Amino acid sequence: MEPRKQQVMTTFLAYRNTLDAHYDQRERVIKCSRDITALSKKMVFSLLRITQDSPEKVFKDVEFKHNQVLELFAKMSKEMQGSNAMKYNRQATPGIQEYIEAVGLWRFLQHNELITKKQVLESLTIESDGNATPLVSVTDEDYLLGISDLPGEVNRYCINSIGKGDREAVSKCLAFLRMLKEGVSLVLSVRKYNNLEKKVPVLNSSLEKIEKAFYSMTIRECEMENINPATISASGIAAECNMDTS
Amino acid sequence: MDLQIFIDLQDKFDQETSLYEGINNAIKEMDRTCRLASAKLTKAHSLPQEQAKDVTESIKPQFVTIKQYIGELSQLIKPETFYRYHDRWTNVLQTACALVAFSIYLEESRLATPADVEEYLGFKVNTENADITVFVITLEEYLHGIISLFNELSRLAVNSVIVNDVKRPQHISAFASELYSGFQLLNLKNDSLRRRFDSIKYDIKRIEEVQYDLRVRNLI
């Protein structure tokens, strides 16, 4: 082969190696992101069982799953150092958002507050040789999109709570969603942000469902207050229905 | 209290807006400069090879301007956030690389290397898949620039015959087919690089047709 052609082939082989390394790294991030998504969803399912299991049991289970998720983040962390964090953010963000949704729901159920980005990063921090840095970085967009997915899950928790007659839980959910709606609207007022805009209809419909459910609950309670179940006896009902009790 | 989170985010986004303005302005100016240089370079298609140097000299001022604006971008962007904003300027940098590739071919009938790009545009081409610590021109941007060269070459082959230059198309033919072999080594994914790579074969075809036309008429 002539020298010029040889030169071209050698340089392009090097370029191939670089591109291959990049694509492979990107694939690894995608795989980690998928695994993180799956496990985060399991965390959410665990958390939603709080209306049927004891809180201690639920939080212990979630803690266990959380440690498993951290292992996945540790794996992903290797590919996301320095400038690579933003380079592969598009591939990592689905997992990160799903995770934020999970820890966000956890925080709401346990402490009745909205998790902050700082707290998210703290949850991703593990001590290793005196160094305490988060395993991955979280952008503002990751954080916003993650918490804007909370209404759906809070809605589920709320409906389950209504079934248990837990008025206090419903009231907390309502306040939480109203606050989220106000916050998201505030952010959208400064910046056009399509991905966040898409979440707004879901947020609105979740809020509406909870308000309706709370309304029904309140009406039923008013009704129940006017009837004292203890005074209902067999003869009383029979008299109402003109039945023969003899 | 919870609402404060959103108010703080609002402020952060407001601050970022001024950064976006700086970036967009630099990109706009670079884009204009690239178009001007591109318009000047098209003259090379209507002039014989000996006069190519005049054309490439005429766009040196544009390269100075482009270098300056890339410098501005590099001042605005921290390396850790490079990829957060990278999509904004990637197209104009691809065009800039294409200008370098065509200029070098016109002047020296060879392939522009990353070192050439660094000389003309003032910043290194990142040929490794590693964490970056300075502003760089990405390998993809460089490759996009080289792909643009194929289109210029196929036009140049045709236009050379028009000015009665039959030697140049021969060089172009050998050069282009070597370069194409190099490109065919790459494992590309379904992205813009792959799509533009797919268009190379049409330029190769045109170049080969010029060769054939000349051969068959015993002009070479």
- What DSSP string describes B81-143? GHHHHHHHHHHHHHHHHHHHHHHHHHHHSSPPPHHHHHHHHSS-EE-S-S--SS--EEHHHHH
Residue predicted with more confidence, A2 or A96: A96
What span, in angstroms and rounded, lies between the C-alpha atoms of B90 and A15? 18
Residues 6+ apart with CB under 8 A from B185: A9, A12, A13, A16
A79-88, A191-200, B127-136: segment of lowest average pLDDT: A191-200
pLDDT at A241: 55
Q: Which parts of chain B have pLDDT scores under 70?
A: 1
pLDDT at A217: 87
What span, in angstroms and rounded, lies between the C-alpha atoms of B18 and B13? 9
The answer on pLDDT for A237 being more than 60 is no
Structure tokens, A205: 């419909």
pLDDT at B1: 65
Structure tokens, A4: 């010029």
User: Chain-wide mean pLDDT for chain B?
Assistant: 95
Residues of A in CB contact (< 8 Å) with B are 4-5, 8-9, 11-16, 18-23, 25, 81-87, 89, 113-114, 116-117, 139-140, 144, 179, 182-184, 186-187, 189-191
Residues from chain B contacting residue A25 (CB–CB below 8 Å):
129
**Reported ipTM:** 0.94
What span, in angstroms and rounded, lies between the C-alpha atoms of A111 and A172? 11
Residues from chain A contacting residue B83 (CB–CB below 8 Å):
83, 86-87, 89
The answer on pLDDT for A165 being more than 70 is yes
| Strand ranges in chain B using DSSP code E only, listed in sequence order | 125-126, 137-138
Burial of A184 (0-12, 13-18, 19+ CB in 10 A): buried
Q: Which of B83, B188, B194 to mutate to test the interface with A (most CBs of A within 10 A)?
A: B83
Residues from chain A contacting residue B139 (CB–CB below 8 Å):
15, 18-19
Give mean pLDDT, residues A90-108.
97
Backbone angles phi, psi at A125, to 5 degrees: -100, 130
pLDDT at B182: 97
What span, in angstroms and rounded, lies between the C-alpha atoms of B121 and B116? 8
Token pair 């939603």: residue: A48
Percent of chain A scored above 70 by pLDDT? 92
> Between A4, A5, A25, which is nearest B129 by CB?
A25
Residue A132 distance to chain B (closest CA, Å): 19
Give mean pLDDT, residues A7-36.
97
Give mean pLDDT, residues A89-115.
97
The answer on pLDDT for A238 being more than 70 is no
Residues 6+ apart with CB under 8 A from A3: none
What span, in angstroms and rounded, lies between the C-alpha atoms of A145 and A233? 56
Structure tokens, B164: 């009665």
Residue A5 distance to chain B (closest CA, Å): 6
Among all residues of chain A, which has the CA nearest to that of B125?
A15
pLDDT at A192: 82
Residues 6+ apart with CB under 8 A from A51: A157, A160, A161, A163, A164, A166, A169
Backbone angles phi, psi at B164, to 5 degrees: 65, 30
Give mean pLDDT, residues A149-163.
94
pLDDT at A223: 84
